[in-house]
Amino acid sequence: MIKFGTDGWRAIIGFEFSQDNIVKVAKAHAKALKKHGLNKVIVGYDHRFLGERFAILVANVMKTEGIEADVAKEAVSTPNISFAVKYMGYNQGVMITASHNPYYYNGYKIKESFGGAATPEFINEVEDEIKNIKDVDFKEHNIKRVDIISQYIEKTTSNISKNILLEKELNIVHDSMYGPAFKYYLEAFKDKN
Catalytically annotated residues: 99
82 in Cβ contact with 113 (< 8 Å): no
Amino acid at 65: E
Alpha helices by DSSP H, listed for 101-161, are 120-131, 149-157
Q: How far is the C-alpha of 193 from the C-alpha of 185, rounded, in Å? A: 17
Cα 115 to chain center, whole Å? 11
136 in Cβ contact with 24 (< 8 Å): yes
What are the start-end ranges of the E strands in 9-119? 9-12, 40-45, 68-72, 92-96, 105-111
